[in-house]
Amino acid sequence: MTRGQRLKIYVIILLIIIPVFLSGCWDSIQLDKLSIVSGLGWDINLDTGDVTLTYQSIVPSQIKSTSSTSGSGEQKGGGALNTIQLDHSTGSSPYDALSRYTQHGSRIPYYRHTQVFIFGKDGAEQGIYPFIDTVARNPAGRPNILMAVSEKKASDILGVQNGMESIQAIGMAEEIKLSAAFSKYPEVTFLEFANRLMSKTTAPIAPMIGIFLETGPDGKKIQKIRITGTAVFKGDSMIGQLNERESSGLLWAINKIKKGFVMIPEASLEIVRAKSKIVPELQDDKIEITIEIDEESNLIEYKGRKDLTADIVQELEKGQAKEIKSQVMAAVEKSFSLDADVFGFGDAVHRKYKNEWKNLKPMWDEVYPNIKVVVKVKTHLNEIGDVNKALMKK
Amino acid sequence: MIALFMIGSAMLALWPIPGLVRKRWWKELICFAVLWSMGFIFSVMLSMRINLPPITTIINKYITGMFGI
Amino acid sequence: MLLEKGKISNFQLSVLIVGFVFGSSVIIPPGQGAGHDAWIACALGLMEGLLIVWIFTALAKQFKDKTIVEINSLVYGKILGKCISVLFIWYLFHLGALVLNNYARFFKLEIYPATPKAVGLLLVMLVCASTVGRGIEVLARCGLILAPLTLLVAVTDTLLVIPHIDLKNLLPILDVPIRKLLFVSHGTASFPFAETVAFLMVLAFVDKPEKGPSAVSRGLLISGFIFIMVAVRNAAVLGQMGTVYNYPTYIAVQVIDIGDIFNRLEALVAINLITMGFIKISILLYGTVLGLAQVFNLRSYRPIILPVGILMVILALTNVGNTLEMLEFASKGYSIYAVPFQIGIPLITLVIAKLRKLPPKGEVNS
């Protein structure tokens, strides 16, 4: 056999052997042996301290059948319910509950596509640290997963079907992201939550989700989920919440305003761009924080029935500034009353006053409610829309 | 498991040994034999789950002990 | 040099250095322990690394065409020289086992949890052994393709992660006590920058030896800047969690999610590890077998490649009891353990060589 022929034989042998290794003998994962968990819910039974985990898993075969009917545009009925499957398992700790999936499923749970973690209100008030630790430690826990708190129990939220999306958890995640894009409620990923947890002074936050009854097009009452507030944590336990106005104020202060609307008595304006900065000042142990907000907006609704002049535009700008300022102050007041630094004032002071921070940090709980907060808002009205005169005068 | 190791090591030895013997490279053969037997012994010990001393840990203990970090 | 007939160009040398330094630092970025000041530790470590490089490249330039083993024999005499060479070879061997260890732990944790570590290591070792068996030229040519790919991926990842970067996470600067920062930057110098002392076995085969030192420094500077950029990016993206994660780069890349198309890019980081780890392990294996062959005056290093490779795998498997001991060694013991090999041997050899006026002028380079 010549050398060339021998080489060819070796190459062929290699080509046959290599694909065997590529799929991974020990680690080969077959799709039909997996249950892809799209949402995970966490509840604590107050009496026994047991943790109940709710898995929302995707049934891949059902998704195809519903997408073929999506063209009809009506509320999906029973078909969509089959795309997901809810399972519960209970145990004394998060991983104990996770490990009991064999009790209710025929497949191994696969967490790499999880969209959202939901915590029941009772569970959140007890403290969610064991869960956070599991997610951070487990390689399947991605930093992008959204966190949310449910008003009552997480298992209820995960059972509500969503109208538009065939997979409920994806719909919920998109709803959270949409509300964050429109600057109503914050969107908190696991990484952001964990970072706030690690900073010993900043309070973690998460959007709150509740269930509402609505009448569907066919007259029957159906459940829908809606984002209703922002949960505020101290450490890993929930201590309170911010309502819609306060949540907006919080977003203004921490520079998370993207699109959205500002409503003032005479007009409604659409936010084009907004930037905010938190500037701390430390003088003789007294902390003063200035929140500087810069905002640009367009006019989309004017109820004044007058022709628009430069003076009116200025008035609108002043009105906007007042409204934004009051939203932020509402958030500040609420956070003072909860004694939870949701804005990250502590971190801002730490960044600027490195040496004094060592003394301030242990006393932050007492220092925080006494901080003087000054809000400076600069607004600018860009466009007034297609018309500049009133359609109907007073 | 041990049988697998033995077969694998034998195959490993079979590869260069005929060539070395043919070329009469005795020094290289000795080197190869020494290293091969070391590998053989250690891998057999590993597969029988005898705990070989963790070298890096020992070095670490000495160094942190000496410098007290 | 009958053992190695190949020659590599200076550009290939620079590329090999970049690949080598990247080695296992793809997933374990240097500067850990300094928190969000890791980039300062990287910069300081880079400077110290450049100093160390200057020392041993001066040694290589003094003795053109000779590897460290031959230099030792010349400078210290046959017997003492061989003993010191054996120590140096042990360092290369142990380092190879450490790299394999890092490799195996990462793969076992993130990618193949059920596969036994030995399997992955043996497969990598087979590839490295076959590459080393063909000489340094082949390795340099492989590096020429793989290293720029890794650089491209590193830069692209950083660009893609820009929407998630919050530079405020880097403040306040110098938050870490100075003593710890200096210790961590010395640690960064010993892993990975000064590990290029392994190239003392390779520098003999450069075709233009006078340009050797600048090529090495160039490679070091490029990789050093990339590390600083990676340290800044990781701290900016991960915030304080960056200090908690074992593999920050892997997690930082997981946050990329652009338009639902560019996501799950962390697989690219794993591929980077495979390629760069391959280069690093190959060079360490090459240094070890070539050194052993020169110490024992063998006619060729080809027969001993596989046994040494298997021994390296075995050492990698039994090296440490668990990951925690590995982390402790990496953060505490290694920076001191490596000093005699990275600085001590080259420096003392250089000084003695200069004192003894070696090599004699007019010596024919064999």
Q: What is the pLDDT of residues C116-153, one digit of tens each?
A: 888 888 888 989 998 998 888 888 888 888 988 888 98
Tokens of C125: 């070792």
**Residue in the block written with tokens 């892993």:** C191
Instruction: Please check whether residue B3 is in contact with residue B48, taking contact to mean a CB–CB distance below 8 angstroms.
Output: no
Lowest model confidence (mean pLDDT) among A146-155, C218-227, C234-243, C355-364:
C355-364
For chain B, give the percent of residues with pLDDT over 90.
Answer: 0
Tokens of A204: 């973690």
At A63, the pLDDT band (50, 70, 90 cuts) reads: low
Tokens of A166: 């065939």
**Stated length of chain A:** 394
In chain A, DSSP finds a helix count (H) and a strand count (E) of 14, 13
What value does the mean pLDDT take over residues A69-81?
A: 34
Q: Which distant-in-sequence residues (6+ apart) come within 8 Å of C138 by Cβ?
A: C6, C131
d(Cα C96, Cα C304) in Å, to the nearest integer?
A: 16
The 10 Å CB-count burial string (b at 16+, else e) for C297-317 is ebebbbbbbbbbbbbbbbbbb
DSSP C37: G
A117 - beta bridge partners?
A: A40, A147
Tokens of A238: 């929930």
* pLDDT value of position A182: 86
At A80, the pLDDT band (50, 70, 90 cuts) reads: very low
Superfamily of domain A244-394: Nutrient germinant receptor protein C, domain 3 (3.30.300.210)
pLDDT tens digits, residue range A115-153? 888 888 887 887 788 888 888 888 877 888 888 888 888
d(Cα A339, Cα A368) in Å, to the nearest integer?
A: 7
**Stated length of chain B:** 69
For the beta carbon of residue C259, count every other beta carbon within 10 angstroms.
6
Higher local confidence (pLDDT), A98 or C114: C114
* pLDDT value of position A81: 38
* pLDDT value of position A60: 63
At C47, the pLDDT band (50, 70, 90 cuts) reads: very high
For chain A, give the percent of residues with pLDDT over 90.
Answer: 0
Phi, psi of C39 (to 5 degrees): -70, -30
Tokens of C73: 């024999």
d(Cα C246, Cα C251) in Å, to the nearest integer?
A: 9
Which domains, from first to last, does chain C contain?
10-342 (1.20.1740.10)
At A47, the pLDDT band (50, 70, 90 cuts) reads: low
| A286-302, strands of its sheet edge to edge | A261-263, A267-283, A286-302, A372-381
A56 - beta bridge partners?
A: A39, A86
- What are the angstrom distances between the C-alpha of C104 and each of A334, C112, C120, C147, C266? 50, 10, 7, 21, 17
Q: Is the pLDDT assigned to residue C282 strictly greater than 90?
A: yes
At C288, the pLDDT band (50, 70, 90 cuts) reads: very high
A293 - beta bridge partners?
A: A276, A377
* Residues of B (10-69) whose Cβ lies below 8 Å from C: 12, 15-16, 19-20, 25, 27-29, 31-32, 35-36, 38-39, 42-43, 46, 51-57, 59-60, 63-64, 67, 69
At A300, the pLDDT band (50, 70, 90 cuts) reads: confident
Interface with C, mutate which of A142, A188, A199 (most C CBs under 10 A)? A142
Residue of B nearest to C328 (CA): B60
Q: Is the pLDDT assigned to residue C232 strictly greater than 50?
A: yes
Chains that touch C (3 or more CB pairs under 8 A): A, B
Residue of C nearest to A136 (CA): C245
Could you tell me which of C327, C192, C325 has the C-alpha nearest to residue B58? C325
Phi, psi of C253 (to 5 degrees): -75, -20
What value does the mean pLDDT take over residues C92-97?
A: 92
What value does the mean pLDDT take over residues A242-251?
A: 88
Q: Is the pLDDT assigned to residue C358 strictly greater than 90?
A: no
The closest CB to that of A27, out of C114, C174, C257, belongs to C114
In this complex, is the C-beta atom of C325 within 8 Å of any C-beta atom belonging to chain B? yes
Tokens of A112: 């790499």
* pLDDT value of position A68: 39
Q: Which positions in chain C touch B58 (Cβ < 8 Å)? A: none
* pLDDT value of position A50: 64
d(Cα B50, Cα B44) in Å, to the nearest integer?
A: 9
Residue C84: CA count within 13 A, CB half-sphere: 22
* pLDDT value of position A144: 85
d(Cα A283, Cα A288) in Å, to the nearest integer?
A: 8
- What are the angstrom distances between the C-alpha of A242 and each of A185, A328, A333, B35, C107? 10, 12, 10, 70, 43
pTM as predicted:
0.86
ipTM of this model?
0.89
Q: What is the mean pLDDT of chain C?
A: 85
Chains that touch A (3 or more CB pairs under 8 A): C
Q: What is the largest CA-CA distance in chain C?
A: 67
Domain boundaries, chain A: 30-242, 244-394
Q: Is the pLDDT assigned to residue C285 strictly greater than 90?
A: yes
CA A384 to centroid of chain Cα atoms: 32
Q: Is the pLDDT assigned to residue C284 strictly greater than 90?
A: yes
* pLDDT value of position C281: 93
- Cβ separation C333–B60 shorter than 8 A: yes
What value does the mean pLDDT take over residues C301-320?
A: 87
pLDDT tens digits, residue range A192-240? 888 888 888 888 888 888 888 777 777 677 778 888 888 888 888 888 8
Interface with C, mutate which of A14, A191, A360 (most C CBs under 10 A)? A191
